[in-house]
């Protein structure tokens, strides 16, 4: 148990919507917030929401990754704690280690937990120690031709399809599915190169592919008093190339299976001596068999759906835990009610392989009304640059029933008016009309099984004419929204 400490000021080591999200909870608790930005990101919305801002360098992206510079800013501004958000430095164990060495509080797990959970090999071992089934996998493959032979031997024993996975990292990088020996040998080198580029570690291994699973994850919280609670499940099965597109809470499992998978997540967190917020991810087979997948040692993009169905502010709990306070509720006080769905509105062109589509937001209007939550960091006149994430806004809707949530999602998608860049909205409008989605009949093969979702008519060119007229009317300046 750590001693209690009083945090008065916190630095948010991130940008965009997650930085704004963290700032809101911190400011509700009466904390002052320091925001950081790169020169290439000086028009970012999160800068406007901070109490104090500091430029960390010219950018792009590299200065958001500078541990030394961020810690220097924290000390200069008198911040006692740093929240990493997601992405960037959030899963780099060197960051919390450096914070601790400089007398700063890292709002997240300690470095040894991040290091252990970041290694899929160690995480698998801890899962097995917790009595959780794991997917059959190889040892870390040797480099060169020896690794090729090890991979072929594993394939001969377990059969195809197989997954090649990076030992470090996450977010779908370094992962590829292979169907035969030729694809396997080609994929080994590709995954090694991608893993080295993304994570600085080219170690890879093989995993048996589970046929048409559901991707289910469990949100956990753990404090310094040894308390570990779960906040139920999320269904993240609708993904493209292992990148989540739609997230749903709860996960839609039968009650006994939901209880089993949540208890498994708590056991693993206890075994790993976890602290703060995290997500334990599983694959659930067609026969309801469960397999441990990985642990994400940070706040997740999709945490909003859990907050909506439980009423619990996860960031607020993270900040309390960082101050040495216990979790503010017990397990029996957690209840999931209704359904929440989150979609990520990105500046991407779905018809062009979801390629990022930077540009100026000539017009931005958003939906509202009952059961609608928006987490964004954009405003009319804001320029979407090619340097950062293409996420514009996360739309989360709530319904007392699944049908109501789907209907509300459809209505909310129609309520957006975004001109100047292509977005993923038309693609999601196709999904909410799809009979399988409406019936909650989907697994990780959903996107591949529904190529017709891309068969929609583009209308952006017509409305761009209107956009130019509105842009002239608004030529006096930008219009940030709160």
Active centre residues (catalytic): 298
Taken in order 455, 375, 214, 413, the sign of the CA dihedral is negative
Element (H, E) at 436: helix 435-438
Q: Which helix (H) or strand (E) holds 105?
A: strand 105-106
CB contact set of 437 (below 8 Å; sequence gap of 6+): 238, 406, 431, 446
Q: Is 207 exposed, middle or buried (0-12, 13-18, 19+ CB in 10 A)?
A: buried
CB 229 within 8 A of CB 221: yes
Integer Cα distance of 148 and 189 in angstroms: 10
Asked whether the bond before 250 is cis by omega within 30 degrees of 0, the reply is yes
Element (H, E) at 307: helix 303-310
Question: Which two structure tokens, joined as six digits, stand for 364?
Answer: 């931005």
Which letter does DSSP use for residue 442 in this model? -
Following CA atoms 71, 74, 77, 79 in sequence, which dihedral angle do they give, to the nearest 10 degrees?
Answer: -150
Q: For residue 82, give every residue at least 6 positions away whose Cβ sits within 8 Å of its Cβ, in sequence order, or none.
A: 10, 11, 12, 13, 70, 71, 74, 99, 104, 105, 106, 107
Residue with tokens 């930085």: 19
* Dihedral angle computed from the Cα positions of residues 57, 63, 68 and 69, in that order, rounded to the nearest 10 degrees: 30
Residue that the structure tokens 């450096």 belong to: 98
What's the maximum distance between 2 C-alpha atoms anywhere in the chain? 68
- The partner residues of 206 in beta bridges, in order of sequence, read 164
Output the six-digit token pair for 381. Answer: 């006149």
CA distance 167 to 112: 16
Inter-residue contact 207 to 137 (CB < 8 Å) = yes
CB 222 within 8 A of CB 295: no
Residue 26 in contact with residue 8, Cβ under 8 Å? no
Nearest to residue 9, comparing CAs of 79, 113, 67?
79
């Amino acid at each position: 148990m750590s001693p209690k400490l009083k945090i008065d000021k916190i630095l948010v080591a991130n940008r965009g919507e997650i930085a704004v999200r963290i700032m809101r909870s911190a400011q509700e608790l009466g904390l002052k917030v320091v925001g950081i930005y790169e020169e290439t990101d000086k028009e970012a919305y999160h800068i406007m929401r901070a109490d104090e801002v500091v430029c960390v360098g010219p950018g792009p992206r590299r200065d958001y990754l500078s541990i030394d510079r961020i810690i220097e800013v924290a000390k200069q501004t008198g911040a006692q704690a740093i929240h990493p958000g997601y992405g960037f430095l959030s899963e780099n164990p060197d960051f919390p280690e450096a914070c601790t060495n400089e007398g700063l509080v890292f709002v997240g797990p300690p470095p040894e937990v991040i290091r252990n959970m970041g290694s899929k090999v160690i995480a698998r071992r801890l899962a097995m120690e917790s009595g959780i089934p794991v997917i059959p996998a190889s040892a870390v493959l040797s480099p060169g031709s020896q690794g090729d032979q090890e991979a072929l031997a594993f394939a001969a024993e377990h059969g195809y399809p197989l997954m090649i996975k990076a030992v470090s990292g996450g977010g779908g990088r370094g992962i590829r599915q292979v169907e035969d020996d030729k694809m396997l040998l080609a994929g080994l080198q590709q995954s090694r190169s991608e893993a080295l580029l993304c994570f600085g570690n080219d170690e890879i291994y093989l995993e048996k592919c589970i046929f048409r699973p559901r991707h289910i994850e469990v949100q956990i919280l753990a404090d310094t008093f040894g308390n570990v609670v779960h906040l139920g499940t999320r269904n993240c099965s609708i993904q493209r190339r292992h990148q989540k597109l739609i997230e749903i809470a709860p996960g839609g499992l039968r009650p006994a299976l939901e209880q089993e998978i949540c208890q498994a997540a708590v056991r693993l967190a206890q075994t790993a001596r976890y602290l703060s917020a995290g997500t334990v991810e599983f694959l659930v087979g067609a026969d309801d068999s469960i397999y441990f997948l990985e642990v994400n040692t940070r706040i997740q993009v999709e945490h909003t759906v859990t907050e909506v169905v439980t009423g619990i502010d996860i960031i607020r709990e993270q900040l309390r835990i960082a101050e040495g306070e216990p979790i503010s509720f017990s397990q029996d006080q957690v209840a999931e009610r209704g359904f929440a769905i989150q979609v990520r509105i990105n500046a991407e062109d779905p018809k062009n392989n979801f390629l990022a589509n930077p540009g100026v937001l000539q017009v931005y209007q958003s939906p509202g009304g009952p059961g609608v939550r928006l987490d964004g960091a954009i405003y009319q006149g804001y320029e979407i640059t090619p340097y950062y994430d293409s996420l514009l806004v996360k739309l989360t809707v709530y319904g007392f029933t699944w049908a109501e949530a789907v209907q509300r999602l459809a209505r909310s998608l129609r309520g957006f008016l975004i001109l100047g860049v292509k977005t993923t909205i038309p693609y999601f409008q196709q999904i909410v009309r799809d009979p399988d989605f409406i019936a909650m009949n989907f697994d990780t093969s959903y996107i591949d099984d529904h190529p017709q979702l891309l068969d929609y008519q583009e209308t952006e060119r017509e409305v761009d004419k209107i956009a130019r007229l509105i842009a002239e009317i608004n030529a006096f300046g930008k219009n940030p929204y709160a």
